[in-house]
Amino acid sequence: MRVYGRKTAYVNTAIIIINVLCFLYLELQGSTENAGFMLAHGAMFAPLVVDHGQYYRLVTSVFMHFGVSHLMNNMLVLFVLGDNLERALGHVKYLIFYLLCGVGANLVSMTVNLMMGSLSVGAGASGAIFGVVGGLVYAVGVNRGRLEDLTSRQLGVMILLTLYHGFTSMNIDNAAHIGGLAAGILLGILLYRKPRRYMGYGI
């Protein structure tokens, strides 16, 4: 019997590196904890997107973080979970999936903020990361509770802890988290295909 090793999840690694490089670049230019500075460099702000057509912010804000702890917390979760989903989807699909989840999370957040009249500057990869979690929820479910070494119980605990942290902390965009999670489940249904198992017969 031939045993195949796991494929390298180089897209997920590249996304993490890009996030770190963007953070370092911004820190060298100013302060990532300053909302005005972040806004000037591509963070999300609904009026600028809706009224001025600055749609690029839906993407650029996904690679920006408010301070080193914000960056490290998000990259740690992405490092732990992202490679599983990349191997399940494939490299190209995973990149498309990640970007669409980030944009989708921002759209949901923007809509909720406009409806509530809450105009805040937003940035961070957490919406896209919740999308990764959503994709894994679907993939794990389809595979009867396990995907590689990831079980439905482990994933469920992580989701509950992350949501609890979001709803009990200040300045956390829960609309983006929920929007990303929903986008991830939907895109998982559209993009993920359970591998077929082939039976070999001796002659």
**Does residue 2 belong to any structural domain of this protein?**
no
pTM over 0.85: yes
Query: What confidence score (pLDDT) does residue 2 get?
Result: 35
Collapsed DSSP state (helix, strand, coil) of residue 6: coil
CATH number at residue 71: 1.20.1540.10
Mean pLDDT by 10 residues, the chain (203 residues): 60 98 97 96 95 96 95 92 93 97 96 88 94 93 82 77 65 87 95 68 44
C-alpha dist (Å) from residue 41 to 86, 93, 118, 178: 29, 28, 21, 25
Query: 61, 126, 152, 169: which is the annotated catalytic residue?
Result: 126
| Active-site annotation holds for 70 | no
What total of structural domains would you count in the chain? Answer: 1
| Active-site annotation holds for 65 | no
**Does residue 105 belong to any structural domain of this protein?**
yes
Structural domain that includes position 38: 10-191
